[in-house]
Structure formats: C-alpha cells, structure tokens
Amino acid sequence: GNSVTQMEGPVTLSEEAFLTINCTYTATGYPSLFWYVQYPGEGLQLLLKATKADDKGSNKGFEATYRKETTSFHLEKGSVQVSDSAVYFCALTPTGGGNKLTFGTGTQLKVEL
C-alpha cells in the first residue's frame, strides 16, 4: 500500500535559519504530493503541491521538489520566522486520480527568537 515517512520532530530552529523537513514516500507510479501545515488548534491548510516528477511546488517562501528517483518531497525554506511554528504534514494521493490522501505523521517545527 501507499505510505509516507517524515522526519520526527520537534525541529527547533532560530529565526532566519534554514529549514529542511524530509519526506519520502512509497507508492506505485506517479502519485501527487502535498505539504499541509497545521497551526495550533486549527485544521490543515494546503502549503504546496506537485503533481509530476521534477515539479517544484512553492508558496510563502517554502519549496519542495518532486524527486521520483529518490521518492522524496523534502520541504525547504531559506529563512524561517517565528510565525512558521506549526506542524507540517507530507501527504500523497495515488496515481491516476482519486483524492484519498495518505499522510505522514507530521513534523512539529518550533522557531525561536
């Protein structure tokens, strides 16, 4: 079956540090890949997505590139802010359409001054 593996948190960084949150997946074919963000006490918000190999999704300074050869979709940001503190979820939907999401367990990010 499909699965998503994320690095465990919490990840604690100082403001303006570089962020990487690793995400790898197991799925047949070419799934679509997503990063969602969850702020405390809230639901999930779509951060970015990529639907085919070598696509780069980007939003609010965050980026992730769909790497088919390494089955990865790592999230990066060049300079984090305190307001980026949240839980980040990597997720996929299967090849050929359909909208059932498979989520990773989430990575908590804490950004300190």
Of 17 and 71, nearer to other proteins (C-beta) is: 71
- What whole-number distance in Å separates Cα of residue 27 and Cα of residue 47? 21
| Contact status, residue 96 vs residue 90, Cβ threshold 8 Å | no
Q: Within the chain, how many helices (H) and strands (E) appear?
A: 0, 12
Nearer to other proteins, 30 or 67 (CB): 30
- Nearer to other proteins by Cβ, of 97 and 113: the residue is 97
User: Could you tell me the maximum CA-CA distance found in the chain, to the nearest angstrom?
Assistant: 44
CB of 2 to other proteins, least distance (A): 12
User: Measured from the CB of residue 15, what is the shortest distance to other proteins in angstroms?
Assistant: 25
For residue 9, give both structure tokens. 């948190």
Q: Which of residues 16-75 bind other proteins (CB under 8 A)?
A: 32, 34, 36, 41-46, 49, 51
Sign of the Cα torsion 53, 6, 37, 75 reads negative
Binding-residue total with other proteins (CB under 8 A): 23
Contacts of 30 (CB under 8 A, 6+ apart): 52, 53, 68, 95
Positions in 84-103 near other proteins (CB under 8 A): 89, 93, 97-101, 103
Footprint of other proteins (CB under 8 A): 4, 32, 34, 36, 41-46, 49, 51, 89, 93, 97-101, 103-106
